[in-house]
Amino acid sequence: MKHLLPFLGGLVTFMVISTVFYMGIMPYPTSSCVVPEDEMNMGIMILGNALMVGLATYMIILGGQHSAGAGAKHGAVAGVTVNGMLNLFIYGFFTCDGGHIFPLGEAVIDIAANIAFMAAAGAVIGVIYARKA
């Protein structure tokens, strides 16, 4: 239970911010190789997000500094590492209809956005740990 509340706080923060961004700001990819939005497997998407937030939570625990600033730093590192690897691997390894699944510019925007989302999630995780200390 000691780690569940910070993890859940970070996950909710990440999910709310990223949902606003992906549903309201960034257009859905139009490639024929991307699953249509209504066919997306949301359970798998949530699990993937939970794994990234779990990494940030673990990094914050290892760092031993429980504050919004320290949490944001560790969250941002988790975000750039996980999301950067995901986007760059997909861009570099997969093709669709003779081209990339999405343009490199979209990958860069997604990586930058996830650094900010994970910094916010990490800040919440750090604050929750600080309150329990």
Give the model confidence (pLDDT) of 44-59 as tens digits: 999 999 999 999 999 9
Specify the residue for token string 């003779």: 98
Torsion of CA 125, 127, 132, 133, to 10 degrees: 110
- 86 assigned to some structural domain: yes
Instruction: Identify the three-state secondary structure at position 96.
Output: strand
Q: Please list the residues that pair with 96 across neighbouring strands.
A: 99
Q: What is the pLDDT of residue 133?
A: 64
Instruction: Identify the three-state secondary structure at position 66.
Output: coil
C-alpha count within 13 angstroms, C-beta hemisphere, residue 119? 10
- 30 assigned to some structural domain: no
pLDDT at 30 over 80: no
- 27 assigned to some structural domain: no
Domain that holds residue 69: 4-19+42-132
